[in-house]
């Protein structure tokens, strides 16, 4: 983790914890949800469809501290399996969490490990979210290819026209620090957007949830979510997470080494011979 990434983590932690008052209010309570999703993504090595399931849960350890975790399984650019877990603090006007993320990508045989901080501050009809994910896994090199995990900073606003309807929109910046951040076009800047509503208890329709940057990296999904015992607005405020499903926050980049001159020449010569035989 380089100096830029450390400074960002310290700044976010300072902003989050400086807002925590001495007397914390609303107690944490158990939370659970499961989402089945499908869509499309481009993240590292071409575009493809994506689909899978995403689970999230929170277990209180006291009225103001708990453990939140998640699990996802997805397919598309190869099978992926992921876990995340970490402590959550509850305070009068929001929540904050620090999580360890793990993802195994079968296609690249790559293990992503990262640290992610998320903070939420709640108003009457708005939520303000800030999230930063920093990979700590090593660069993988194999056969001339290089697979690197990338960092990501998100700022998001959620808007609730009613207790059962949610819009979200925000900004993201990724791949601005760490190994390989200059590969494949370097830093990306883009946006986050989404819309969901509760159809009936306990079914939520995630009509669209997406993120996209100017380096043609994107993930856009739709899904059906099952949540228990809460209006949609209350459920989203009972845990702390950014509105994204189907993978780790930052993702990966794959840099492929072009064929050497001698290899390219042999291929061209072979093709010429084949054409001559015809």
HEC string of 10-59 equals HHHHHHHHHCCCCCCCCCCCCEEEEEEEEEEEECCCCEEEEEEEEEEEEE
pLDDT band with cut points at 50, 70 and 90 for residue 250:
low
Cα–Cα distance for residue pair 21/272, rounded to 1 Å = 75
The rounded distance, in Å, linking the Cα atoms of 164 and 198 is 5
Cα–Cα distance, 115 to 84 (Å, whole number): 9
Per-residue pLDDT tens for 129-173? 999 999 998 787 766 677 888 899 999 999 999 999 999 999 999
- What pLDDT is stored for residue 18 in this prediction? 45
Quote the pTM value: 0.81
Q: What is the CA radius of gyration of the chain?
A: 21
pLDDT score, position 77: 76
- Neighbouring CB atoms inside 10 A of 1's CB total 14
Which has more pLDDT, 42 or 95? 95
Strands 145-149 and 65-75: unpaired
Dump pLDDT digits (tens) for 2-26. Answer: 555 555 555 555 554 444 444 334 6
pLDDT digits over 189-224, tens only?
A: 999 999 999 999 999 999 999 999 998 889 999 999
Quote the DSSP letter at residue 264.
Answer: H
**What pLDDT was estimated at residue 24?**
38
Ordered domains of the chain (ranges, CATH): 3-277 (2.40.160.160)
């Amino acid at each position: 983790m380089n100096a830029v990434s450390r400074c960002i983590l310290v700044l976010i932690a300072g902003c989050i914890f400086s807002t925590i008052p001495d007397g914390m209010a609303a107690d944490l309570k158990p939370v659970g949800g499961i989402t089945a999703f499908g869509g499309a993504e481009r993240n590292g090595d071409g575009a493809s469809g994506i689909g899978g399931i995403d689970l999230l849960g929170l277990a209180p350890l006291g009225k103001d501290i708990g453990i939140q975790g998640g699990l996802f399984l997805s397919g598309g650019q190869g099978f992926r399996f992921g876990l995340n877990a970490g402590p959550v603090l509850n305070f009068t006007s929001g929540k904050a969490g620090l999580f360890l993320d793990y993802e195994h990508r079968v296609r690249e045989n790559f293990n992503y490990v990262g640290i992610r901080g998320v903070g939420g501050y709640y108003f009457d009809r708005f939520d303000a979210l800030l999230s930063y994910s920093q990979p700590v896994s090593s660069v993988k090199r194999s056969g001339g290819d290089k697979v690197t995990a990338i960092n990501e900073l998100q700022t998001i606003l959620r808007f609730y026209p009613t207790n059962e309807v949610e819009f979200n929109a925000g900004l993201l910046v990724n791949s601005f620090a760490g190994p390989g951040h200059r590969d494949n076009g370097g830093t990306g800047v883009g946006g986050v957007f989404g819309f969901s509503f509760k159809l009936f208890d306990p079914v939520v329709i995630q009509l669209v949830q997406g993120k996209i940057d100017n380096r043609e990296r994107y993930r856009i999904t739709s899904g059906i979510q099952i949540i228990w015992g809460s209006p949609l607005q209350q459920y989203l405020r009972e845990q702390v997470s950014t509105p994204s499903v189907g993978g780790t926050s930052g993702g990966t980049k794959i840099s492929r080494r072009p064929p050497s001159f001698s290899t390219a020449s042999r291929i061209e010569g072979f093709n010429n011979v084949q054409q001559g035989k015809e």
